[in-house]
A and B are shown apart, each in its own frame.
Chain A
C-alpha cells in the first residue's frame, strides 16, 4: 500500500515538473519579447528594455526557469503586471470565489448524476435509460456559455427568478450568495451530469450482472436490500474517480461561465490575465490550476485504492 502511494506521488511529481516546463514555455518562450507583448507595438524600445529588465525576461531561459520555479515552490509567484500586486494574493481571492461556485455545482450534480445513472441501469434498454444516456451525452457537448445564455434569457430576463450576474453585493448573507450562484452552476451541472450518470450506470450494470448479486438474489434477499447493500457499494467506487477527474474540466468551464456571469473567480482571472498579456499572473494561475488538478487526482486514486483492494495489489507490479 505504502509502495503504491509513494509510486503514485512520484508520478504526480514528474507530471508537475513537465507541467511547469509547459507553462514556462507557453508564458515565457512563446511570446518572444515579453516586454513588447505587454506594452504593445507603440512603446519605445527603452521602455520595453526596462520592463524586460524589471521582469527578468532578459536573462537566459534556464536561469529564468530555475528562478521562477524555485520561488514558486516557496510560495512566491511574483507580481502581477496589470494589478501590481502579488500573484498569490490575487489567486487566493479568485480561488475562494471559484470554490464556492464549484461546491454549489457539485452539490447539485453528484446526487443527480448518481441517481440518474442508477435509474438508467435499473431500466436498462428501456425509454428511461435512453433518455438519460442520450440526453446526458447531448447536454455534455453543449458549451457552457450556450446553456448559460439560454438560462439567463429564460430565468433572469423573461421570468426574473434569478439575478443575471453571479456576484452578490459585498457583505451579502449565505442565502443571497447562493441565490446568485444557482444559475451559473447549472451550465456546469449540465456538462458533468452525463459523465457521472454514464459511469454510475456502467458500475451498477456490472454489479447487477455479478455473481455476488446472483447469490444474494438466490438467497432470497429483497431487491431493494440487494441494491443498497451489494450493488451501490461496488458501483459507486468508479464514480469517485470520475468526479475527481472532472475537476480539471471544471476549471476550464469556469473560464467561460465566470466571464458570462461576470464573476471574479479563477477562470475570470486567467481570462483577464490573458487579455492584458499579464504573463506572471497567467503562469502562476495555470501552474496552480494544474497542481490542484494533480493533487485531486492523487487523492482520488489513493481513496479509490483504499476502498478497493484489487487496485492496491495491481499497483505493486
Chain B
C-alpha cells in the first residue's frame, strides 16, 4: 500500500517553478526525439553513400552545416542519429542496475544483519577501482561488445543503487504498515514488493536519473576508448576517437560537434535529475 501524501501536489508545484528542471527536460527530450526519429530528421544518410568519398573532410558549408567526416558522411546527420547509441546503451545499463539494485536493496534492508556487512565490504572493494577501469578489464576479458557494456555498467550500478534503496528500506521497515502486514502473515517477498516498494519509489526515481547521467558518461568514455561499439554505428564517442588525430591539420568539425552534443545531453540530464531531486527534498 502507498501512504497517500499531499506532498505529491507540492512536488509538482516545485518542479513546475524550477527553471533547471525545464531546461534539462527540454534538452533531454530533444535528444530522445532525435534518437527515435533520427533518420527522418537528418538531412543526409548518416551511414553515407558511395559517392560521399568525393567530399571527405569538407569544412562546414550551406549544404553540410557541420561539415563532413573522413568518409565524406554528413556530420550533422551522424550527430542527430548518434543520440540513439548513447541513449539506448545507457538506458539499458541503468535499467538493469536499477532493477537488480532495487531488489538487492530491498532484501538487504529488510533482512539486515550479516548480509548487510558482506555487501558493504564487497561494495567498498568494487569502489576502489574506477568504473571505466572495471569496465575496461571486463570488456578485455569478455571481448568488446555492446551487450557487454550494458551488463558491466549494470552490474557495477547494482550495489551502488542497492546501498541507497537499503537506507530507504531501513527507514520504512519499522513503520506500522509493515508490522500490520507481518501480523497478517504476509510473506517477506509480498511485504517487500507490495508494501515497501511503492513507498521507496521516490528514492529509486532520483537514483535512476542520477545513474543515467553517469551511465552516459561511462558509455561514451568507453566508446571513445574503443570498447563496445561496432565501428559503422553513428556514435559520438567513436566519432571523436576516429577524428581527433585530424585536429593537428586544423580539421575540428568532425570532433567539436559530437563533443558539444555529448556535453549538452549530459548537462541536460543532470539539470533534470537535479530538479527532480530538489522536488523530492523539499
A residues engaging B (CB < 8 A)?
11, 14-16, 18-19, 22-23, 26-27, 30-31, 37, 134, 137-138, 140-147, 149-150, 152-153, 156-158, 164, 248-249, 251-253, 255-256, 259-260, 270-271, 274-275, 277, 282, 286, 289-290, 293-294, 297
* Contact in complex: B128, A15 (CB < 8 Å): yes
* Contact in complex: B131, A252 (CB < 8 Å): yes
Shortest B100–chain A CB gap in Å is 17
Q: In the complex, which residues 187-240 of chain B have their Cβ closer than 8 Å to any Cβ of chain A?
A: 213-214, 217, 220-221, 224-227, 237, 240
* Contact in complex: A157, B247 (CB < 8 Å): yes
Whether a CB of chain A sits under 8 angstroms from the CB of B126 is: yes
With A143-B266, A145-B240 already in contact, the answer to whether A153 and B256 are too (CB < 8 A) is yes
Shortest B29–chain A CB gap in Å is 18
From B217, B225, B244, contact of A141 by CB (8 A): B217
Shortest A9–chain B CB gap in Å is 14
Shortest B116–chain A CB gap in Å is 15
* Contact in complex: B141, A27 (CB < 8 Å): yes
**Cα distance A108–B20 when bound, in Å?**
28
* Contact in complex: B240, A149 (CB < 8 Å): yes
What does DSSP make chain B's interface, helix, strand, loop or mixed?
Answer: helix
**Cα distance A11–B129 when bound, in Å?**
17
Whether a CB of chain A sits under 8 angstroms from the CB of B17 is: no
* B266 / chain A contacts, CB cutoff of 8 Å: 141-143
A-B contact count (CB 8 A): 146
* B62 / chain A contacts, CB cutoff of 8 Å: none
Whether a CB of chain A sits under 8 angstroms from the CB of B52 is: no
From A144, A147, A270, contact of B136 by CB (8 A): A270
A-B interface, 4 closest residue pairs, ranked by CB to CB distance from nearest: A252-B130, A30-B141, A18-B125, A290-B128
Apart from A145-B224, A274-B139, list 10 A-B contacts with CB within 8 A. Answer: A23-B129, A30-B141, A37-B141, A138-B270, A141-B214, A146-B220, A146-B263, A149-B244, A149-B259, A153-B256
Whether a CB of chain A sits under 8 angstroms from the CB of B248 is: yes
* B220 / chain A contacts, CB cutoff of 8 Å: 143, 145-146
* Contact in complex: A282, B129 (CB < 8 Å): no
Whether a CB of chain A sits under 8 angstroms from the CB of B138 is: yes
Whether a CB of chain A sits under 8 angstroms from the CB of B267 is: yes
**Cα distance A139–B240 when bound, in Å?**
19
Whether a CB of chain A sits under 8 angstroms from the CB of B176 is: no
Chain A minimum-CB-distance residue to B253:
A153
Shortest A73–chain B CB gap in Å is 17
**Cα distance A3–B127 when bound, in Å?**
25
* Contact in complex: A146, B133 (CB < 8 Å): no
Whether a CB of chain A sits under 8 angstroms from the CB of B41 is: no
Q: In the complex, which residues 64-103 of chain B have their Cβ closer than 8 Å to any Cβ of chain A?
A: none
- 24 A-B residue pairs with Cβ-Cβ distance under 8 Å, sorted by A, are A11-B121, A14-B121, A18-B121, A18-B122, A141-B266, A142-B262, A143-B262, A143-B266, A145-B237, A146-B263, A149-B244, A150-B256, A150-B263, A152-B244, A153-B256, A248-B129, A255-B136, A259-B224, A260-B244, A274-B137, A274-B140, A282-B140, A290-B125, A293-B128
Whether a CB of chain A sits under 8 angstroms from the CB of B147 is: no
With A15-B121, A153-B255 already in contact, the answer to whether A146 and B225 are too (CB < 8 A) is no
* Contact in complex: A149, B255 (CB < 8 Å): yes
Chain B minimum-CB-distance residue to A290:
B128
Chain A minimum-CB-distance residue to B255:
A149
* Contact in complex: B132, A255 (CB < 8 Å): yes
Shortest A232–chain B CB gap in Å is 26
**Cα distance A11–B250 when bound, in Å?**
52
* Contact in complex: B132, A134 (CB < 8 Å): no
* Contact in complex: A157, B224 (CB < 8 Å): no
* Contact in complex: B125, A22 (CB < 8 Å): yes
* Contact in complex: B129, A143 (CB < 8 Å): no
Shortest A56–chain B CB gap in Å is 18
* Contact in complex: B221, A143 (CB < 8 Å): yes
Interface centre among A26, A277, A289 (most CB of B within 10 A): A26
With A252-B130, A275-B226 already in contact, the answer to whether A146 and B248 are too (CB < 8 A) is no
**Cα distance A192–B123 when bound, in Å?**
22
**Cα distance A30–B141 when bound, in Å?**
6
Whether a CB of chain A sits under 8 angstroms from the CB of B33 is: no
**Cα distance A45–B270 when bound, in Å?**
51
* A146 / chain B contacts, CB cutoff of 8 Å: 220, 240, 259, 262-263
Whether a CB of chain A sits under 8 angstroms from the CB of B142 is: yes
**Cα distance A289–B220 when bound, in Å?**
23
Interface centre among B128, B240, B247, B262 (most CB of A within 10 A): B128
Chain A minimum-CB-distance residue to B266:
A141
* Contact in complex: B141, A31 (CB < 8 Å): yes
**Cα distance A134–B20 when bound, in Å?**
8
* A294 / chain B contacts, CB cutoff of 8 Å: 128
